[in-house]
Chains A and B, each alone.
Chain A
Amino acid sequence: MNKTLNQRAWWLVLPVLLLVAFNAFIPLMTVVNYSLQETFGDNVFFWEGLTWFESVLKSERFHAAFLRQLLFTAMILAIEVPLGIAVALTMPRRGPWVSVCLVLMALPLLIPWNVVGAMWNIFALPDIGLLGYTLNSMGIDYNFTQQPVSAWMTTVVMDVWHWTSLVVLLCYAGLCSIPDAYYQAARIDGASGWAVFRYIQLPKMKRVLTIAILLRFMDSFMIYTEPFVLTGGGPGNTTTFLSIDLVKIALGQFDLGPAAAMSIIYFMVVLLICWAFYTVMMRNEER
Chain B
Amino acid sequence: MAIELRGVTKRVGGEIHIYETSLALERGGFNVLLGTTQSGKTTLMRIMAGLEKPTTGEVWFDGENVTGIPVQNRSVAMVYQAFINYPSFTVFDNIASPLKVAGTRKSEITARVRDIAELLKLSPMLDRLPNELSGGQQQRTALARALVKGADLVLLDEPLANLDYKLREELRDELPKLFADTGATVVYATSEPLEALMLAGHTATLAAGRVVQFGKTAEVYRSPATLESARVFSDPPINTASVEKRGDSIHLSELVSWKTPERLASLQDGRYVIGIRPYHLLPFGTGVKVVGVVQIAELSGSESIVRLMVEGNNWVSEAHGMHAYEIGAHAEFHFDPDRCLYFDADQNLIRA
A→B interface (CB under 8 Å) = 1-6
Contacts and interface: CB of A to CB of B under 8 A. Distances in A.
Interface string B59-103: 000000000111100000000000000000000000000000000
Interface string B31-61: 0000000000000000000111100000000
B52 A6 contact: no
A6 B12 CA distance: 19
A1 B13 CA distance: 10
Contact of B70 (A1, A2, A6): A6
A94 to B, nearest CB: 16
B345 to A, nearest CB: 40
17 contacts: A1-B12, A1-B52, A2-B52, A2-B53, A3-B51, A3-B52, A3-B70, A4-B50, A4-B51, A4-B52, A4-B53, A4-B68, A4-B69, A4-B70, A4-B71, A5-B53, A6-B70
A2 B71 CA distance: 13
Q: Is the interface of B mostly helix, strand, loop or mixed?
A: loop
Contacts of B71: 4
B51 to A, nearest CB: 7
B9 to A, nearest CB: 14
Interface string B101-141: 00000000000000000000000000000000000000000
Nearest to B46: A1
Nearest to B51: A3
Contacts of A5: 53
Nearest to B68: A4
A1 B69 CA distance: 17
A2 B50 CA distance: 11
A107 B91 CA distance: 37
A3 to B, nearest CB: 7
Chain B interface residue bracket vs A: under 10
Contacts, number: 17
Nearest to B53: A4
A2 B47 CA distance: 11
A92 B172 CA distance: 43
B237 to A, nearest CB: 31
A90 B68 CA distance: 54
Contacts of A4: 50-53, 68-71
Contacts of B51: 3-4
A230 to B, nearest CB: 44
Contacts of A2: 52-53
Nearest to A6: B70
User: A2, A3, A4 — which one has the most chain B CB atoms within 10 A of its CB?
Assistant: A4
A208 B69 CA distance: 40
Nearest to A1: B52
A251 to B, nearest CB: 50
A5 B53 CA distance: 9
A58 B221 CA distance: 82
A3 B51 CA distance: 6
Interface in B1-42: 12
B68 to A, nearest CB: 7
Contacts of A1: 12, 52
Contacts of B53: 2, 4-5
Nearest to A5: B53
Q: Top 10 A-B pairs ranked by shortest CB distance?
A: A4-B70, A4-B53, A4-B50, A1-B52, A6-B70, A3-B51, A2-B52, A2-B53, A3-B52, A4-B68
Contacts of B68: 4
B325 to A, nearest CB: 35
Contacts of A6: 70
Contacts of B50: 4
Given A2-B53, A6-B70, 8 more contacts: A1-B52, A3-B51, A4-B51, A4-B52, A4-B68, A4-B69, A4-B70, A5-B53
Nearest to B71: A4
A134 B144 CA distance: 68
A3 B46 CA distance: 10
A178 B50 CA distance: 36
A2 B54 CA distance: 10
A160 B71 CA distance: 51
A3 B69 CA distance: 11
B59 to A, nearest CB: 11
A11 B71 CA distance: 21
A4 B69 CA distance: 8
A3 B47 CA distance: 10
Contacts of B52: 1-4
A40 B69 CA distance: 61
Nearest to B67: A4
Contacts of B70: 3-4, 6
A5 B51 CA distance: 10
B203 to A, nearest CB: 27
Contacts of B69: 4
B45 to A, nearest CB: 13
A5 B69 CA distance: 10
A4 to B, nearest CB: 4
A4 B68 CA distance: 7
Nearest to B43: A1
A101 B68 CA distance: 52
A6 B51 CA distance: 12
User: A2, A3, A5, A6 — which one has the most chain B CB atoms within 10 A of its CB?
Assistant: A3
Contacts of A3: 51-52, 70
